Copies of this chain bind each other. A is one copy, B any other.
């Protein structure tokens, strides 16, 4: 029987509030099974970018990452957010190890080639390229990997990668070796029929139902790429949940069928 492994993604809005972040990290620390945390930090990166006089550019929710913006996200994701999360987890007794995909070459990637839009230093990775052996080495050694959404091109450059995609990829790659559960945490109790009404939580969501809700415009904008990533992992047989960050160990949120 495979060992259980919980992979949790926490989004930017969870990170922005210090008290919420502490609460989530404390609950995360209390999870008994081996675990991995993946975090975003887009809002902090955008704020830093503006302070440094660089106007953030987004296309369909994806950050256009020129050389200066790559520095900004490296500082925000790899430095400020990642290292503070690691320090907080250590305070909660969780032996966290902060990682980018460059560290120990855990996630090699390729700079995105797109003829229509130049995304800049944005990286796409193959799930098969994820360094399962090295991640297992850390996990079996009692460490809890904490990922920011940076990968590398193996030629010396870091690459900005979507954190939701990274979470799905890591969960999928590790499902070869572990019994993986993937949880996306954010500021809502799960997938809602009405984003403004928490009571409209969808407790179970299948792919056809999701497509219908998307066609009807009920699921829209940021939830679409998140759910596409989540369903991609689900198709590999991984249990996937989407829930409120403050309900990590209590509510089931939305479970993907």
| A-to-B contact residues, CB < 8 Å | 22, 48, 51-52, 71, 74-80, 82-84, 86-88, 90-91, 95-98, 100, 102-105, 137, 141, 143, 150, 152, 154-158
Whether the pair A91, B154 counts as a contact (CB closer than 8 A) is: yes
Residue in contact with A90 in the complex, picked from B84, B86, B91, B152, CB distance below 8 Å: B152
| C-alpha gap A104/B48 in the complex (Å) | 27
Q: Which residue of B lies closest to A98 (CB)?
A: B103
- Complex contacts, A22 vs chain B, CB 8 Å: 156
- Complex contacts, A154 vs chain B, CB 8 Å: 90-91
- Complex contacts, A103 vs chain B, CB 8 Å: 83, 86, 96-98
Whether the pair B74, A83 counts as a contact (CB closer than 8 A) is: yes
Residue in contact with A100 in the complex, picked from B51, B98, B143, CB distance below 8 Å: B98
What is the distance, in angstroms, from A93's C-beta to the closest C-beta of chain B? Answer: 10
Whether the pair A155, B83 counts as a contact (CB closer than 8 A) is: no
Whether the pair B52, A87 counts as a contact (CB closer than 8 A) is: no
Whether the pair A78, B83 counts as a contact (CB closer than 8 A) is: yes
A87-B152, A95-B105 are known contacts; what are 7 more A-B pairs with Cβ within 8 Å? A74-B79, A78-B83, A84-B158, A86-B100, A87-B100, A96-B102, A98-B98
Whether the pair A90, B102 counts as a contact (CB closer than 8 A) is: yes
Whether the pair B150, A141 counts as a contact (CB closer than 8 A) is: no
| C-alpha gap A79/B78 in the complex (Å) | 5
Given known contacts A52-B51, A97-B104, A100-B98, is B75 in contact with A79 (CB within 8 Å)?
yes
